[in-house]
Chains A and B, each alone.
Chain A
Amino acid sequence: MPSDLRSMAQHIKSGMRLALPVDYAGVSMAMTRPMIDHGAGDLHLICVPTGGLQVDQLIGAGLVTSVETSAVSLGEAGGAPRFNQAVKDGALRLRDATCPAIHAGLMAAQKGSPFVPMRGLIGTDVLRHRDDWRVIDNPFADGGDPIVLIPAIRPDIAIFHAPMADRFGNVWIGRRRELAAMAYASTQTLVTVERIVDHSLLADEMTAAGTLPALYVTDIGLAPGGAWPYGLWGEYPTDTDELARYARAARSAEGFAEYMASQAKVQA
């Protein structure tokens, strides 16, 4: 039985670390409003590996304390206005990263390892501002060869949107395997889907190949069009007009509040 999105939001407690996917990988925009209404704040967002509309809205709603990300933007619609304002105001703890470092941190958690090493990064200000990363000399080199160690990222909850689930709790993620990586690394995983099918996705090798097993899935909600205004691969395209409309509205706190209020009405 699919769960109600509002009851799914109850899993989120103040102070939790949430992992959210990149805009093209299946953002559960449908969960944004229930999350804001639920109101659990002091959230630590981990963008896998970049953030967009959902991150901007959660920041605008005042729920976010820190963001670990490789970027936050609205893509073609420009900068993320509430994020940018919060940065200017010093209202966010920023953990600027680079895409593969976020993947690396999740991979460490997936493997149950305290860290993984990663090439690159040496000499960047990204590294200079990360006191939670370490640099060691590669123990397999003859000396020198500095290499960065990225500690495991263990989110409390991963939240994403996918094309389908079955009634046994398995979720089809196709080739968007970062969604599986998020789930492996996270204690809980909340998923919204376009549809729920009766047959097991694991019963057939073709669907099984793109399936995240129920073992990792805490709760599933039915939300057709649930990535909107983002698109969902193989399902529907991004509504760039709506993203642009948001980008214009959210330039000010008032405009953001009005936009969110009008959205709430549409959804009610």
Chain B
Amino acid sequence: MVEVLYFAWVRERIGKARESVETNAATVADLVAELRAREPRYEAAFADTSALRVALDQELSEFDAALSGVREVAFFPPMTGG
């Protein structure tokens, strides 16, 4: 079970800010594949992962990173602070 968070247009496209996901995905990419298979709005949000960033337990990470031991996964577009 991981807590999945969405920010900015990813949050808007999926229609929620966070959800608990029951998964055995080994990597972030595997989790993305499971989410895309759920519903068109997930498919729309994850259509181009090169336009997305991922953080694992609040540290920036990569889509091929392992999920074992991770409790919080966040998906969002490239940051635009400052």
Q: Do A and B come from one complex?
A: no
